[in-house]
Chain A
Amino acid sequence: MAFLTDRKRASGLGSAKSGTEHHWKMMVTAVALVPLVIAFIFTFGAILGSPYEEVVAYYQRPVPAIIAGLTLLVGFVHFRGGVQTLIEDYLHGFARKATLIGMICLSYAAAAAGVFAVLRLAL
């Protein structure tokens, strides 16, 4: 007979890991993205297809710029969490680790590039 408690035996295994934190982050970013994405669709949609000068002038206005910057930042953080779930469900071993690292790096790189570009246009 082993003197292990049920809690000790379950701790760190199965669903008893850090899923709560991941789920909470997805919920927070999802809630934030509801108004952001709606605002982004109509601001970005309104200017897409316009000539260069108009695009630059449009994103020098604070409201479209803040909407675009926040949507890209929060959107890629949300994507980073979502794609992690996808990869963990379907890939295993080295392929899982390599794809996870690749997609997480891509998410943060895209977020940084997007926010930098919006800032540069706006300022």
Chain B
Amino acid sequence: MADVNRGNRPLSPHLTIYRPQLTSMTSIFTRLTGNALIVAALMIVWWFVAAAAGPAAFATANGFVTSWFGDLVMFLSVWAVWYHLCFGVRHLIWDSGHMLDVKRSETYAQAAILVSVLLTIFTVIVA
């Protein structure tokens, strides 16, 4: 029994053959946003280190972080972090064995996209 059929098994078709679905696209974006957040995270670390180092260093780092480029990165990262949080929670729900059917996954995805955009707008207004 131990040595049967090691190869020659059917392979599932890969990404390129599928029409994009909401479930797969939101999953890919979860990965993308999570990893892209390294840019803002390193800028924030630089900002803290500069603040700890003194006024001159802080002026440089703060100037960069609050420049138009820094603002753009921070704005996109606010959305990225809300999106990653909303869809990270979906993974936690999935891991608990719930909401695994396509219909409810898609409903969650639509709601989470909306919520991440609304939270981004809310954050920009408040902060």
A contact residues vs B (CB 8 Å cutoff): 1-6, 8-9, 27, 30-31, 33-34, 37-38, 41-42, 44-46, 48-49, 52, 55-56, 59, 68, 72, 75-76, 79, 82-83, 85-86, 110, 113-114, 116-118, 120-121
Contacts and interface: CB of A to CB of B under 8 A. Distances in A.
A45 B48 contact: no
A9 B5 CA distance: 13
Contacts of B49: 113-114, 116-117
B101 interface: no
A45 B37 contact: no
B109 interface: no
Interface of B: 1-3, 31, 34-35, 37-38, 41-42, 44-45, 47-49, 51-52, 55, 58-59, 62, 65-66, 74, 78, 81, 85, 88-89, 91-92, 95, 123, 126-127
Task: Provide the main secondary structure of the chain B interface.
Answer: helix
Nearest to B89: A34
Contacts of A42: 123, 126-127
A37 B123 CA distance: 12
24 contacts: A2-B2, A4-B2, A4-B3, A6-B1, A27-B92, A30-B91, A31-B92, A37-B81, A38-B85, A41-B127, A42-B126, A52-B51, A52-B55, A52-B59, A56-B51, A59-B51, A79-B34, A82-B31, A82-B34, A83-B38, A86-B35, A116-B49, A116-B52, A117-B51
A41 B48 contact: no
Contacts of A46: 127
Contacts, number: 98
Contacts of B78: 41, 45
B15 to A, nearest CB: 12
A68 B62 CA distance: 17
A63 B75 CA distance: 24
